[in-house]
């Protein structure tokens, strides 16, 4: 389903007066408001194809109904999100859960919804039906060369699908590791993984990027072969210029200083992409900004500062994606909340007085530095984000309109109450 344009206009007209009052209030304190709004308008966050269905745990899964049953419906769902918030203009596909059987048709459908194809994601953490060799003891790290080759071939196949769709990056997340001490020779596991990644790297087209994502633990609980940013950076440094480290917010040990990791990766020109989510304990995949919004703000502070220091384009030079999954929320409502949280935090980071902060740092004025950061963090920037959306043709309050238009009820009517999104 789609939301008619006039419904969005009606909704905006109804809220316009109230919105303008709030916007005028904050605009009075901002020097270059049109420059700031332009940055917000350009910033797009990719939606992964696996986030559109209800997630689950190994204990159970409780579908909310109306879930997309195929790739076409997933594209329609993201198109719907994008028409509401104008900040979700890209889709990230997972192979083999979302193989584009007819690339021309899929590409045309995405274009119709103004969506681009973001990074392609491979999967060697599961055995697929009919698969010859098992990934039980790893894929690219495996002691058996034939298993490693199978994993390499799969990644090359994913690149081929990506080329057909116009994607320009491949994200490799490996669950490889070990569950018990002694199970693995760490050095050999690293070497095997590096050689496998090198084979995939050779198949990358010139303008493509390869993102090597790390994760501290799970599904392996003793060691992970790409376990932290240092290990990922080792691989990507050895691989070459087209290889970058990807930071997933949920893939760190508790209390890790992610903002510092981000700053150093950016400094080295090795930060490639970002997976947004939030967590209380581990890889909880919760809604962005739902648990630790200040941490997210500190990360965005480093992102903006680091990208500006290198003259990078905020919208295009890094890959921005949500990587989350939801057990109790409507997945589309949750994605609207996540994108909103990202836009709010980005806007706050843009408000930080960089010159004053730098002066405070040079003068060892710790109190002033904190005041400057928190001044931005405590500013209610929601009218700015809403204004950017309004100027792009989106809705002032996407979630409100989603509910008043009864989108989920309509999707259930259209698709049924027992649909299960592919891959989940
Ligand atoms: Mn991820």
pTM: 0.97
User: Is 143 a residue whose pLDDT tops 90?
Assistant: yes
- Distance between start and end Cα atoms, the chain: 22
Instruction: Tell me the average pLDDT across 328-356.
Output: 97
Expressed in angstroms and rounded, the spacing between residue 155 Cα and the centre of ligand 1 is 16
Please report which confidence band the pLDDT of residue 147 belongs to, taking 50, 70 and 90 as the band edges.
Answer: very high
Q: By the 8 A CB rule, do 128 and 96 touch?
A: yes
Expressed in angstroms and rounded, the spacing between residue 276 Cα and the centre of ligand 1 is 8
What is the per-residue pLDDT across 170-215, written as a single tens digit (0 to 9) for each? 999 999 999 999 999 999 999 999 999 999 999 999 999 999 999 9
Q: Which residue has the higher pLDDT, 46 or 54?
A: 46
In the predicted model, what is the mean pLDDT of the chain?
A: 96
Expressed in angstroms and rounded, the spacing between residue 275 Cα and the centre of ligand 1 is 5
Give which of 342, 304, 296, 348 is closest to 322, Cα–Cα: 342
Expressed in angstroms and rounded, the spacing between residue 419 Cα and the centre of ligand 1 is 25
Instruction: Tell me the average pLDDT across 2-26.
Output: 97
User: Is 95 a residue whose pLDDT tops 90?
Assistant: yes
User: Is 96 a residue whose pLDDT tops 70?
Assistant: yes
pLDDT for the residue numbered 6: 97
Expressed in angstroms and rounded, the spacing between residue 321 Cα and the centre of ligand 1 is 9
Expressed in angstroms and rounded, the spacing between residue 91 Cα and the centre of ligand 1 is 14
Instruction: Tell me the average pLDDT across 264-269.
Output: 98
Do the bridges between strand 177-178 and strand 223-224 make them parallel or antiparallel, or are there none, so unpaired?
Answer: antiparallel
pLDDT for the residue numbered 57: 80
Nearest 5°: CA angle at 109, between 105 and 115? 130
Expressed in angstroms and rounded, the spacing between residue 118 Cα and the centre of ligand 1 is 14
Expressed in angstroms and rounded, the spacing between residue 13 Cα and the centre of ligand 1 is 38
Expressed in angstroms and rounded, the spacing between residue 49 Cα and the centre of ligand 1 is 12
Expressed in angstroms and rounded, the spacing between residue 32 Cα and the centre of ligand 1 is 35
Taking the C-alpha atoms of residue 182 and residue 293, their distance in angstroms, rounded to an integer, is: 40
Instruction: Tell me the average pLDDT across 12-21.
Output: 98
Please report which confidence band the pLDDT of residue 327 belongs to, taking 50, 70 and 90 as the band edges.
Answer: confident
State what percent of residues in the chain have pLDDT above 70.
99
Expressed in angstroms and rounded, the spacing between residue 82 Cα and the centre of ligand 1 is 21
Cis ω before 219 (30° cut-off from 0): yes
Please report which confidence band the pLDDT of residue 424 belongs to, taking 50, 70 and 90 as the band edges.
Answer: low
pLDDT for the residue numbered 423: 67
Expressed in angstroms and rounded, the spacing between residue 183 Cα and the centre of ligand 1 is 26
């Amino acid at each position: 389903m789609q939301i008619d344009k006039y419904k969005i206009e009606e909704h905006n007209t109804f809220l316009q007066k109230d919105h303008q009052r709030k916007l005028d209030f904050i605009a009075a304190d901002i020097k270059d408001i049109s420059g700031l709004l332009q940055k917000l308008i350009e910033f797009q966050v990719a939606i992964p194809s696996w986030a559109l269905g209800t997630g689950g745990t190994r204990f159970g899964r409780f579908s909310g109904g109306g879930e997309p049953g195929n790739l076409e419906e997933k594209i329609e769902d993201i198109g719907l999100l994008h028409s509401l918030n104008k900040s979700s203009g890209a889709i990230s596909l997972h192979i083999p859960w979302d193989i584009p059987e007819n690339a021309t048709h899929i590409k045309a459908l995405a274009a119709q919804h103004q969506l681009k194809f973001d990074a392609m994601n491979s999967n060697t953490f599961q055995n697929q039906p009919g698969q010859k060799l098992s990934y039980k003891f790893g894929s690219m790290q495996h002691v058996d060369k034939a298993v490693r080759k199978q994993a390499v071939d799969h990644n090359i196949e994913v690149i081929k699908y990506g080329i057909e769709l116009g994607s320009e990056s491949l994200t490799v997340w490996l669950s490889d590791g070990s569950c018990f001490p002694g199970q693995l020779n760490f050095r050999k596991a690293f070497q095997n993984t590096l050689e496998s990644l090198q084979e995939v790297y050779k198949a990358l087209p010139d303008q493509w990027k390869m993102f090597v994502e790390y994760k501290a633990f799970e599904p392996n609980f003793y060691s992970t072969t790409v376990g932290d940013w240092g290990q990922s950076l080792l691989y990507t440094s050895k691989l070459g210029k087209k290889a970058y480290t990807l930071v997933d917010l949920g893939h760190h040990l508790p209390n890790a200083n992610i903002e510092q990791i981000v700053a150093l990766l950016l400094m080295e020109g090795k930060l490639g992409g970002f997976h947004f989510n939030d967590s209380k304990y581990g890889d909880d995949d919760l809604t962005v900004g739902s648990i630790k919004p200040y941490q997210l703000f500190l990360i965005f502070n480093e992102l903006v500062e680091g990208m500006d220091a290198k003259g990078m384009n905020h919208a295009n030079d890094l890959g921005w994606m949500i990587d989350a999954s939801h057990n109790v929320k409507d997945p589309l409502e949750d994605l609207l909340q996540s994108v909103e949280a990202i836009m709010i935090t980005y806007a706050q980071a843009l408000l930080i007085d960089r010159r004053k902060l730098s002066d405070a740092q040079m003068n060892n004025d710790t109190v002033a530095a904190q005041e400057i950061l928190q001044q931005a963090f405590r500013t209610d920037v929601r009218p700015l984000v809403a204004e950017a959306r309004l100027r792009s043709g989106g809705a002032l309050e996407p979630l409100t309109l989603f509910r008043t238009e009864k989108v989920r009820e309509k999707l259930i009517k259209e698709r049924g109450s027992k649909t299960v999104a592919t891959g989940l």
